[in-house]
Amino acid sequence: MTRRADFWSHTRAACTAALVQALALSAALAAAPEPPLVAIEVRTLPGPLLRIDYVVPPEVDALQFLSPDPRSHSAFRAPLLRSLDGRARLTPTHLERVLEVNRAACPRWQFEVVPQRLGLYAFYEPAQPVGEGVLLQTRHYAAVAPGLGLRWQFSALPGQRVGTAGRWASTLTLNAAPEPAAFGTAAEHAAAARRLSADHYVFMGGGDVLRGEGFRLISDPAVPAWLVASIAEVGELALARYTAALKTPPAGEATLLVTASATDADGAIFHGDVTAGQMIRLHFTAPAPQPDAKLRDEAARFVAHEMAHLWHVGADTTPVQAWLHEGGADWMAAVLLHEGRQTAPDQLGSRLRSALTGCLMEHGSTPWARIPSRHGRAHAYQCGMLLYALAYRVNRSQPALSPLILVGDLLRSAPVLDQDAFVRAVQASAASADARRTSSAAALLRLFRDPDLALADGVREVLRALDIDYAETPLSALGHSRSNAMFLIGRAACRSFVGIYLRTDHVEFDAANQCDGLPQRARVARIQDVAVPSETSLALRRVAERCASAVRFDLTLEDGTVLTLPCPEPTRRLPSSLPQLTPAALADFIPR
- pLDDT tens by residue, 471-503: 988 866 665 455 555 556 655 666 555 566 767
- Average of per-residue pLDDT across 89-108: 86
Q: Which residue did the predictor score with more confidence, 348 or 535?
A: 348
The string of DSSP codes covering 224-282 is: -HHHHHHHHHHHHHHHHHHHHHHTSPPSS-EEEEEEEE----SS-EEEEEE-TTSEEEE
Share of the chain above pLDDT 90, in %: 20
CA–centroid distance for 192 within its chain:
18
On average, the pLDDT of the chain sits at 79
Give 430's DSSP letter.
Answer: H
Q: Is residue 10 over pLDDT 50? A: no
Q: Which residue did the predictor score with more confidence, 20 or 384?
A: 384
Q: Parallel, antiparallel, or unpaired for β 254-261 and 209-212? A: unpaired
pLDDT for the residue 42 = 95
* Poorest-pLDDT segment among 17-31, 388-402, 404-418: 17-31
Q: Which of 27-41, 213-227, 330-344 has the highest mean pLDDT?
A: 330-344
Cis peptide before 533 (omega within 30 of 0): yes
Q: Which of 226-235, 518-527, 533-542, 579-588 has the highest mean pLDDT?
A: 226-235
How far lies 471's CA from each of 357, 382, 393, 579, in Å?
A: 12, 20, 18, 5
Q: Which of 401-405, 534-538, 564-568 has the highest mean pLDDT?
A: 401-405
- Average of per-residue pLDDT across 151-176: 84
Q: For residues 164 and 254, what is the distance between their CA atoms, to the nearest angstrom?
A: 9
pLDDT for the residue 455 = 93
pLDDT for the residue 334 = 93
User: Using alpha carbons only, how large is the chain's radius of gyration in Å?
Assistant: 26
Q: Which of 267-281, 288-302, 573-587 has the highest mean pLDDT?
A: 288-302
* Poorest-pLDDT segment among 277-291, 337-351, 374-388, 450-464: 374-388
Q: Is the dihedral of CA 336, 337, 340, 346 positive or negative?
A: negative
- Average of per-residue pLDDT across 280-284: 87
Q: Is residue 314 over pLDDT 60? A: no
The confidence band for 321, taking pLDDT boundaries of 50, 70 and 90, is: confident
Q: Is residue 162 over pLDDT 80? A: yes
pLDDT for the residue 169 = 83
Of 220, 228, 230, which is closest to residue 293 (Cα–Cα)? 230
Residue pair 470/579 in contact (Cβ under 8 Å)? The answer is: yes
- Average of per-residue pLDDT across 417-433: 76
pLDDT for the residue 213 = 74
